Amino acid sequence: MKKRVVTDSMIGLDMPDIDRWSERVTVVLGQNPGMFTGPGTNTYIIGTGSHPLLVDTGQGMDAYMPLLRQAMQEHGAEGLSGIVLTHAHPDHIGGVAHIQSEYGAVSVSKKPWPELDGDVEITVLDDEDVVTTEGATLQAIHTPGHAKDHLCYFVPEDEALITGDVVLGAGTTVIPPDGDLGDYIRSLHRLLDFDAKVIYPAHGPCIRNPREKIEEYLQHRQLREDQIIDGLEAGLETIPDLVKRMYTDVPEFLHHAAGMSVDAHLRKLLREERVARDGDRWWLSK
């Protein structure tokens, strides 16, 4: 059985701090590089007028604000018409206060998740809602799995999908303990319906072959599931043992993240009654 479908990685990936991806889209790195964020969180200035939207806000790093000011000037923007978030994980919502202190009390639109939204005042967005600014339309798509509040956005003017953490510019998405792999797979299938020409991800470079990338993600998840079944059939019972068998081509410091992926698959299989568990031990259902 082959080891993997997705072969690229965030490790060592380098991107410019500011880049123009279309006449209406400028990307600014959140200055929060790391194991899960790669070069950092992509934040997007979107629109052609003097008051565009900002999609995602980074983590709130001090080094981000001078770059955002520079990018806004280069984009021809005087202020923001609003902030739109993909989801409430800290590297996406964490910069809201900094940005509002700079650009005023602009609205923050997202699908609510009160436990993570904190004291951010939310303008509610849900599936199929639309946010507009001069030169750009953002159509919300509820895409749970990585996070239950996750929204992707279709931008028809660019035939683009803003995918947040659902599809990344390199590597694959982690499904955290409060995520749901079954939901995530359904979300990937839904994105295929939009027949986009480009993907603007939350981490890594833009993707010019969206359908191929999404189908690759689906194939990757099926391969991982097959590998887990194969490991259980071979008598392995714990996540660390499955990780050691499956991820021989991955540095050991990434095995914890790999374990989260294996756990997500096992939880999906448990809901499907294809496996059973007792504490940390897992086995195939009879």
* Residue 278 burial by Cβ neighbours in a 10 Å radius (0-12, 13-18, 19+): exposed
Token pair listed for 256? 């914890």
Residue 59 lies in a domain: yes
Do residue 125 and residue 204 come from a single domain?
yes
Give the domain range for residue 227.
Answer: 221-284
pLDDT band at 50 (very low <50, low <70, confident <90, very high): very high
pLDDT band at 4 (very low <50, low <70, confident <90, very high): confident
**Ranges 18-22, 35-39, 59-63: which has the least confidence:** 35-39
Residue 34 lies in a domain: yes
Do residue 181 and residue 225 come from a single domain?
no
Do residue 154 and residue 231 come from a single domain?
no
Judge whether 145 and 185 are in contact, CB under 8 Å: yes
Which three-class secondary structure string do you get for 112-176? CCHHHHCCCCEEECCCCCEEEECCEEEEEEECCCCCCCCEEEEECCCCEEEEECCCCCCCCCCCC
Please state, rounded to an integer, the average pLDDT across all residues of the chain.
Answer: 95
Do residue 97 and residue 162 come from a single domain?
yes
Do residue 229 and residue 175 come from a single domain?
no
Residue 1 has pLDDT above 70, yes or no: no
Average pLDDT score over residue span 239-259:
90
pLDDT in tens, 141-173: 999 999 999 999 999 999 999 999 999 999 999
Residue 216 has pLDDT above 80, yes or no: yes
pLDDT for res 2: 66
Do residue 245 and residue 126 come from a single domain?
no
Percentage with pLDDT > 90 across the chain? 90
Helix (H, G, I), strand (E, B) or coil at 139: strand
